[in-house]
Amino acid sequence: MTGDKSPADKPRVLLVDPAVFTGPYDAALTGGLQESGISAAWATRSNKAELLNEIPTDVVYPIYYPGIEQSAKQAGFPVKIRKGLSHVASTQRLIRLCRREMFNVLHFQWLVLSVVDLLAIKKIRSRMPIVLTVHDSTPFNGNPTSRAQRYGYKTALNAVDHLIVHTRRAKDALVADGVPSKDITVIPHGPLPLPAQTNVRSFPHKSSRWTYVLFGRLQDYKGLDTLVDALATMDPIQRARFRVIVAGEPFMDTDALRARAEHLGVADTLEWRTKRLSHQEMAELFEEADSFIFPYKKIDASGVYYTVKGYKKWIIASDLGAFSDEISDDVGALFPAGDQAALAKQLADGVGRKPAGDAGVGSSWSEIGKMHANLYRDLLQRRAAEGQSA
């Protein structure tokens, strides 16, 4: 029939972020996709307010982890087992959803249990192209994870139709690991400003000490141990010029780090705010900060960095991923990842430093949405051409 529209005209795309690990990113991407004519929906866990999930509820299928509120990372073995079994059941719901609804593309943001997700990929791929965004080219950012999570990960990378990464370095890492270059597209990470807040406290009489802030989910790859050990190498007079606020929800044993800081005599430099912060609390923390630090061990692109870069404050970061690409000498300082002495020097030199330049805003979500849309349409056209030639 003439006049019929093909799926490539306005593709229906189901994106998958089971635990809403990157809610602000998901929400911003949704807007960019919709601007580019993509009908976007999400398969996630329940849209809980405490997850700071801003994805519009009318495009969410809450099929993951019903009845499980506690994070497996913060819980004991029984909860980990329960969540693992729930992931299996949730994946079955994903397969049924893809069979029931007329989606044209399936796009995973994260693989949680790779071997289970791989089974879903194999069952669904005959129906539609599958895309995976590899936010971290090192699986789980090198965090200690269970064998069950890692098993099947590399196989899954090669089982999907196409991969998205955020940096050229991430693409090079995957190519070196055996993924064909033609199956990887670099699409940059976008800015993640906080929603506008009212009644944000100002800090006209800040601490007499310079305030460094390390913010985000507190996990092993964030390099908190490197930070504590770096502080211990510093002259006490130098260290007395600043404080470090460590803020965010803990996904690791912070008690051991606090004990180590106490043992090393640097506890008075650290202020711990170990909880999930509201948007209001984030805005006030970022106002309070004089500088932001990212002593990460592994990273491709940091959502926290794309949130705070707009505050135009001095940034100290490991020489990795997007930090290497974006942080120039006039806006911040880089140091070799894991190098305690180099971090200590940057902390000492960074007191009083303010950026002389602008880190820039990078790609807009409209541009990022268009890049995704072009990829989806290209995959659909290729799939259609393969069907005609079969």
CATH of the domain at 268: 3.40.50.2000
**Same domain for 251 and 309?**
yes
User: Which residues, listed in sequence order, are joined to residue 278 by a DSSP beta bridge?
Assistant: none
**Same domain for 105 and 215?**
no
Domain membership of residue 334 (yes or no) is: yes
**Same domain for 36 and 160?**
yes
Going across the sheet that includes 39-45, the strands are 60-64, 39-45, 12-16, 105-108, 130-133, 162-165, 184-186
Taking only Cα atoms into account, the Rg of the chain, rounded to an integer number of angstroms, comes to: 22
**Same domain for 239 and 166?**
no
For residue 172, the model assigns a pLDDT of 94
Domain membership of residue 89 (yes or no) is: yes
For residue 6, the model assigns a pLDDT of 64
Domain assignment of residue 123, given as a range: 12-190+364-389
Domain membership of residue 197 (yes or no) is: no
- Segments of the chain scoring below 70 in pLDDT: 1-8, 47-53, 69-79, 140-148, 196-206, 359-361, 388-390
- pTM metric for this prediction: 0.86
For residue 74, the model assigns a pLDDT of 54
Q: How many domains does the chain have?
A: 2
Cβ contacts of 284 within 8 Å, gap of 6 or more: 200, 201
**Same domain for 232 and 330?**
yes
For residue 8, the model assigns a pLDDT of 64
Centre a 10 Å sphere on the Cβ of residue 209 and count the other Cβ atoms it contains. 15
Domain membership of residue 359 (yes or no) is: no
For residue 68, the model assigns a pLDDT of 74
Centre a 10 Å sphere on the Cβ of residue 341 and count the other Cβ atoms it contains. 13
For residue 52, the model assigns a pLDDT of 46
Domain membership of residue 250 (yes or no) is: yes
Domain membership of residue 199 (yes or no) is: no
For residue 26, the model assigns a pLDDT of 94
